[in-house]
Amino acid sequence: MHAFDVLGDPVRRRLLELLNEGERASGELTEVVRAEFGISQPAVSQHLRVLRENGFATVRKDGNRRLYAVDASPLRDVDAWLRRFAVRWEPHLMALETELVRGGRERRAGDERERGRRRQ
Amino acid sequence: MHAFDVLGDPVRRRLLELLNEGERASGELTEVVRAEFGISQPAVSQHLRVLRENGFATVRKDGNRRLYAVDASPLRDVDAWLRRFAVRWEPHLMALETELVRGGRERRAGDERERGRRRQ
DNA sequence: CCACCATATAAGATTTGATTTATATAAGCC
DNA sequence: GGCTTATATAAATCAAATCTTATATGGTGG
Residues of chain B with CATH 1.10.10.10: 3-71
Q: Quote the pLDDT of residue B103.
A: 57
| Per-residue pLDDT at A5 exceeds 60 | yes
pTM: 0.79
Cβ contact, residue pair A78, B75, below 8 Å: no
Q: Are A16 and A70 in contact (CB under 8 A)?
A: yes
Model confidence pLDDT, tens digit, residues A29-78: 999 999 999 999 999 999 999 999 999 999 999 999 999 999 999 999 99
In CATH terms, the fold of domain B3-71 is Arc Repressor Mutant, subunit A (1.10.10)
| Per-residue pLDDT at A117 exceeds 70 | no
Q: Quote the pLDDT of residue B1.
A: 86
Give chain C positions with protein CB within 7 A.
Answer: 5-11, 17-23, 26-28
Q: Which of residues 10-69 of B touch A (CB under 8 A)?
A: 10, 13, 16-17, 20
Q: Quote the pLDDT of residue A30.
A: 96
Cβ contact, residue pair A8, B2, below 8 Å: yes
Return contacts of A23-26, CB within 8 angstroms, 24+ apart.
Answer: A23/A67, A23/A68, A23/A69, A24/A67, A24/A68, A25/A62, A25/A65, A25/A66, A25/A67, A25/A68, A26/A65, A26/A66, A26/A68
Give chain D positions with protein CB within 7 A.
Answer: 5-11, 17-22, 26-28
Architecture of the CATH domain A3-70: Orthogonal Bundle (1.10)
**Three-state secondary-structure class, residue A51:** helix
Average pLDDT along chain A: 84
Residue numbers in chain B where pLDDT is lower than 70 = 93-120
